[in-house]
């Protein structure tokens, strides 16, 4: 433990990030190595094009959206702390959290994971997934495999099933309910963290 916490001193805000995100010292060190590797020019921050070097994102049909989630609105760079805070959403959910100082609703909780996923759809951030926003994601994910008509009918069905208040859009609550039985950990795994 002694050696890993001393090397953690080389990681910017290492101790604080460990507390906040639940990543171990060893894990944070690996993420910092990864970050420095992506930060080719040693600027201390990443731009969206730096993420192209991550195959799991560049090959992911909605990789651009996931990369976009690393950036706050209007910002073009992401520093190491923000990088880690976003990646914390991809940590497996802990069933029995008794860790001292743990956040009441940490980034890897089911609720926070769902919120993260919801924002990948809700690009105008109005708190609802509109039919158009849903269609855009489906188009990116399914691409050439389906016709426009099939896409429309998949979207119709998804909205019909999830849209409880019949406003033709999916609120976060409706989104959460429609995914009640889905293993979100499995859906939101990313090899990046191994």
Residue list 120-179, contact with Ca ion (CB under 5 A): 122, 124, 126, 128, 163, 165, 167
Please say which residue, 29 or 62, places its beta carbon nearer to Ca ion: 62
Question: Least separation, in Å, of the C-beta of 153 and Ca ion?
Answer: 19
Please say which residue, 52 or 167, places its beta carbon nearer to Ca ion: 167
Question: Least separation, in Å, of the C-beta of 165 and Ca ion?
Answer: 5
Question: Least separation, in Å, of the C-beta of 139 and Ca ion?
Answer: 16
Question: Least separation, in Å, of the C-beta of 115 and Ca ion?
Answer: 14
Please say which residue, 50 or 122, places its beta carbon nearer to Ca ion: 122
* Binding piece for Ca ion, criterion CB under 5 A, among 24-32, 42-50, 114-122, 153-161: 114-122
Nearest 5°: phi and psi at 101? 75, 10
Question: Least separation, in Å, of the C-beta of 171 and Ca ion?
Answer: 5
> HSE-up of 37 (CA within 13 Å, CB side)?
11
Please say which residue, 56 or 126, places its beta carbon nearer to Ca ion: 126
Q: How far apart, in Å, are the Cα atoms of 30 and each of 8, 69, 134? A: 10, 21, 35
Please say which residue, 64 or 79, places its beta carbon nearer to Ca ion: 64
* Binding piece for Ca ion, criterion CB under 5 A, among 34-42, 62-70, 116-124, 148-156: 116-124
Q: Which residues bind Ca ion (CB under 5 A)?
A: 122, 124, 126, 128, 163, 165, 167
């Amino acid at each position: 433990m002694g050696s890993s916490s001393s090397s953690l001193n080389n990681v910017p805000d290492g101790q604080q990030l460990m507390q906040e995100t639940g990543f171990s010292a060893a894990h944070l060190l690996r993420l910092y190595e990864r970050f420095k590797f992506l930060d080719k020019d040693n600027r201390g921050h990443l731009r969206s094009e730096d993420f192209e070097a991550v195959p799991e994102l560049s090959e992911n049909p909605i990789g651009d959206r996931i990369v976009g989630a690393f950036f706050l609105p209007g910002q073009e760079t992401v520093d190491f702390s923000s990088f880690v805070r976003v990646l914390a959403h991809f940590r497996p959910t802990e069933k029995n959290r008794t860790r001292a100082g743990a956040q009441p609703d940490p980034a890897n909780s089911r609720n926070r994971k769902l919120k993260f996923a919801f924002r990948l759809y809700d690009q105008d951030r109005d708190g609802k997934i509109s039919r158009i926003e849903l269609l855009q994601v489906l188009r990116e994910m399914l691409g050439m495999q389906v016709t426009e008509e099939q896409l429309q009918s998949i979207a119709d069905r998804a909205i019909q099933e999830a849209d409880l208040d019949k406003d033709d859009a999916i609120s976060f609550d409706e989104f959460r309910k429609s995914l009640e039985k889905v293993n979100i950990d499995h859906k939101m795994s990313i090899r990046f963290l191994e």
